[in-house]
Amino acid sequence: MSGLAWAFSRDLTLAWRHPGEAMLTLAFFVLVASLFPLGIGADPQLLARVGPGVIWVCALLAAFLGLPSLFASDHADGTLEQMALSADPIAAWVSGKIAAHWLSTGLPLTLLSPLLGLQYGLPADALVTLGAALLLGTPVLSLLGAACAALTLGARGGGMLLALLALPLFVPVLVFGAGAAEATAAGLSASPHLSLLGAGLLVAAVSVPFAVGSAIRIALD
């Protein structure tokens, strides 16, 4: 737990001192989600039907923006190698870095999503479900994205390779996350979608940090 807390506080402090990346992520999310109603027209039924999917796609792409720098800067200046040589388990401080990444990017996206959903005329219960789905889904995006970022660490053309690896893995999260809000808007139960997102979060939280640690060791060898 000491390694997790240290990495979490360190990365969160860095994000606080250099908020440009987090602000870029939020600005991208807000601008793209706000432009869609202007592009597809003002039909209330159409906006309500596409709203959850649009917001989820925007959140997915916004969360992807911060992934290339999750480990790259520490790898470039040798910090990552020193962290790997520390007495703390590698999965512990990896978990701390992923948690800090989610808190600085995924959580603000989740908090802003109900406000953006108002532009699409989503009912109150659908807005609540949308926020709950993002609260469960964005940590999964951070975990899966961290695994892909570790796999492409130090590779030439890593940004393109990261996109090719991460975006297909994000699709199930997108489907179940958008489906939860759509089901609520249609008068159906969102429990199956939210349950699958919760199960995916549990599995990813348990297994991904160890996979990321193995990938980082391979990159450092």
pLDDT average, residue stretch 24-42: 85
Taking the CB of residue 65, how many other CB atoms lie within 10 A of it? 15
Mean of the per-residue pLDDT values of the chain: 84
pLDDT of residue 133: 93
Give the end-to-end CA distance of the chain in Å, rounded to a whole number.
26
Is pLDDT larger for residue 81 or for residue 94? 94
Other Cβ atoms within 10 Å of 77 Cβ, number: 10
| pLDDT band for position 201 (cuts 50, 70, 90) | very high
Residue 155 has pLDDT above 70, yes or no: no
Write out the two tokens for 13. 């402090």
Greater confidence (134 vs 68) lies with 134
d(CA 53, CA 156): 33
The model's pLDDT over 83-108, given as tens digits with 9 standing for 90+, comes to 777 777 888 888 888 888 889 888 98
* Least-confidence region, from 39-53, 108-122, 169-183: 39-53
Within 18-106, where are the H helices?
A: 20-40, 44-65, 69-76, 79-84, 90-101
Please tell me which residue, 12 or 1, carries the higher pLDDT value: 12
The pLDDT of residue 197 is above 90:
yes
CA quadruple 165, 221, 96, 204: dihedral sign: positive
CA 90 – CA 213 distance, rounded (Å): 6
Within 10 A of 115 (CB to CB), how many other CB atoms are there?
11
Positive or negative, the CA dihedral 200, 206, 212, 214 is negative
Longest dimension (CA), the chain: 59
What confidence tier does 200 reach under pLDDT thresholds 50, 70, 90? very high
Distance CA 125, CA 132 (A): 11
Q: What is the pLDDT of residue 216?
A: 81
Better-scored residue on pLDDT, 12 or 86: 12
Confidence at residue 135, expressed as pLDDT on a 0 to 100 scale: 93
